[in-house]
Amino acid sequence: MKINWFSPLPPERTDIAHYTARIIPVLSRVCDLTLWTYQQKWDKNLEHYATVRSFKEDNLDWSILNRADATLYNIGNDGIYHKDIFSFSQQHSGIIILHDFNLHELFEGIYRPQSDYKYLEMLRRIYGSKGLEEGIKYINGETTKDAMITMFPFYELALNNSLGAVIHNYDNLEYAADKNPAPVFYTPLPYANENNLRPLNTKISSTGKKSILSLICFGYFGGKNRRLIPILKSLAVFPRKDKFHLNIYGEIQFLDEIVSLIESLNLKKIVTFHGFAPENKLNAALDSADLAINLRFPTRGEASGSLLRTWNHALPCLVTKAGWFKQLPESCVAFVRPEAEEEDIHRHLNACLVDPEHYRAMGLAGRKYLEENHSSETFVRNLMEFIPQVISYKSKAFALELGKRTAGKIADDFSDDFAQKYLLERTAKEIFSWT
């Protein structure tokens, strides 16, 4: 089977690039794979497994794309990495892999720079008068970005022109299927494979209490839903904060605000911002940490690659009890309720000091859950079973699109009801015979 795979690739600083790099060795064993990217430079090690091409070139050979059995587009919420991939998916139909079910920020970033009118028209088109009304309030500063994200996820726009969709959150399966005539498939987000599981280090199995416990937040902090500000404020008023040190790794769009907040809360002695870290440095930091914090609210609706990476280090983690996270077993994560963030953060920090073994056991349970539920091999096997369904749907998709266009043309050109009925019936029979 020939497969086109559109995705950001390493060294791009997004977990979707790393996810692609993790599964490509497994995927390339079962198909003839071509990786497509907007980038001009990528990790050359990928070329051991697949041909890599740039779709931003002026001399793009469409025949190469069209010879494939299936084309898959990885779509996330960050316009820096996914704007061009989405745009191309509207020109060439394929399977959409939704890494975030809530894509409001992606499409706001695409359409508002063109004009507020374009953004409002998209809201009206998908969500009707309610979308238009709330969009006007938002533009006028009368409602918040978080409110818009929660009400209008825009996943419908991502599925436009698709031949199928893959999602990683089972809760979203019904919504995606209801809005999309094409096949929709659930499979867990892949992470673990035979080459990337880390050995369990001595810290995990050690006993006793440390004088200072290491907290870690890491990832791509593109928006404030990653809850860095509430985390810092909670830490500032925690009575035993001197027993912890928080290390933050990653890029933060609102860095100046975070730096100012750390200074104003007198946290400089117990909080260190490291910026973006290479893989080996971040792995070492995760190995030495005692507790990770990975809060998301409002959630973007899909699975967290950061949590899967945390589990690979058998590291316990605080997560928001919302979206995909709330489906996880309590033995594997420490829940923080959105309506009681400070209270729950304090509760877990106190418990870590009193009973660190409980949280070490939680990290080990997460590692086991990762191995059993998030393997790359399972993902690839499920994907290869789903693609034939999409291939068989292509003729139906062609028939539906041809029927819509023909019906519109007949309605425009013929006002007589009898003529319309005759022509529509004849056209339908012809389309049926072709497809």
Q: Phi first, then psi: what are they for 143, rounded to 5°?
A: -145, 165
Long-range contacts of 320-329 (CB under 8 A, 24+ apart): 320/227, 320/295, 320/296, 322/296, 322/297, 322/298, 323/169, 323/171, 323/296, 323/299, 324/168, 324/169, 324/171, 324/299, 325/296, 325/299, 327/169, 327/170, 327/171, 328/369, 329/365, 329/369
**What is the reported pTM?**
0.88
Task: Indicate the helix (H) or strand (E) that contains 216.
Answer: strand 213-221
Of 283, 349, 340, 343, nearest in space to 316 by CA: 349
Do 98 and 75 form a contact (C-beta atoms < 8 A)? yes
Tell me whether residue 435 is exposed, middle or buried, using C-beta atoms within 10 angstroms of its C-beta: 0 to 12, 13 to 18, 19 or more: middle
pLDDT of 200 reads 78
pLDDT the model gives residue 434: 67
pLDDT value for 201? 63
Is the bond leading into 298 cis (omega within 30 degrees of zero)?
Answer: yes
Cα–Cα distance for residue pair 215/420, rounded to 1 Å: 69
Cα 248 off chain centre by: 21
Q: Are 35 and 24 in contact (CB under 8 A)?
A: yes
Q: Which two tokens stand for residue 237?
A: 């008023």
Amino acid 435: pLDDT: 64
Task: Collect the ranges in the chain with pLDDT lower than 70.
Answer: 58, 179, 201-209, 395, 397-402, 431, 434-435
CB atoms within 10 A of CB 128: 10
The CA-based angle 311-146-218, given to 5 degrees, is: 25
Instruction: Work out whether the CA dihedral 337, 339, 342, 344 comes out positive or negative.
Output: negative
DSSP code of residue 192 = B
Sheet holding 70-75, edge to edge: 51-54, 32-37, 2-6, 70-75, 95-98, 164-167, 184-186
| Closest by CA position to 78, among listed 110, 49, 50, 113 | 110
Q: Can you give the three-state secondary structure of 139-184, one letter per residue?
A: HCCCCCHHHHHHHCCCHHHHHCCCCEEEECCHHHHHHHHHHCCCCE
Structure tokens at 75: 């779509």
User: What phi and psi values does residue 52 have, to the nearest 5 degrees?
Assistant: -115, 130
Q: Rounded distance, CA 49 to CA 33, Å?
A: 8
> Which of 398, 378, 397, 396 has the alpha carbon at shortest distance from 386?
378
| Phi (first) and psi of residue 276, to 5 degrees | -70, 135
Check residue 261 and give its pLDDT.
Answer: 96
Q: What is the pLDDT of residue 399?
A: 65
Residue-level length of the chain: 435
| Structure tokens that stand for 129 in this block | 């008068």
What is the C-alpha separation between 114 and 406, in angstroms, rounded?
Answer: 31
Does residue 261 contact residue 232 with C-beta atoms inside 8 Å?
Answer: yes
Q: Phi and psi for 94 in degrees, rounded to 5?
A: -165, -165
Tell me whether the omega of the peptide bond preceding residue 239 falls within 30 degrees of 0, making it cis. Answer: no
